[in-house]
Amino acid sequence: MSPGFLILSILVVLLAVSVAALLYRLFALRGGGTAAILRVMPQNEGSGWRHGIVRYGDETLAFYKLSSLRPGPDVRLTRQGIDVRSRRKPEGSEFDIMTEDIVILDVIDRDDSYEIALDSGALMAFMSWVESRPDGRSQRRRPL
């Protein structure tokens, strides 16, 4: 077997694995979720935004980037740790990927800072999910 054939075979296998991972992620995300655009802060003005899908769980919000090959979520926010600091409209170059009806939330999850861009329906769902979280003091204690 020649070295060229071996290298070509390895490249074909890597390409097949990458395509399989992408297809798996696309089919997994077809199961539902809410469209969102998220960026980890701090970032330069207008950069770092990633399109994806948000899925709500009992304790966490999972964000899946559309362009990622990871099998799981790219970002997880904990329901008890989320604090919405402010909201704003898109500015400047953000209009290249967003419309006027988008609202951008400045969110902190413990020590991590994010901005998440949502349309009006997704904003209502997100705020309802955050505001309906149980009070940490009222949660049942598990018997030892």
Q: What tens digit of pLDDT does each residue of 60-86 get? A: 999 998 877 777 889 999 999 999 999
Share of the chain above pLDDT 70, in %: 88
Q: What tens digit of pLDDT does each residue of 22-32 get? A: 777 666 666 67
Place of tokens 């949502």: 118
**CA angle in degrees (0–180, nearest 5) for 100-82-87:** 25
Position 139 confidence tier, pLDDT thresholds 50, 70, 90 = low
Mean pLDDT of the chain: 86
**CATH assignment of 33-132, given 2.60.40.10, 2.30.29.30, 3.60.15.10, 3.40.50.300?**
2.30.29.30
Q: Where in the chain are the domains?
A: 1-31, 33-132
Nearest CA among 20, 101, 92, 109 for reference residue 49? 92
What's this model's pTM, rounded to 2 decimal places? 0.75
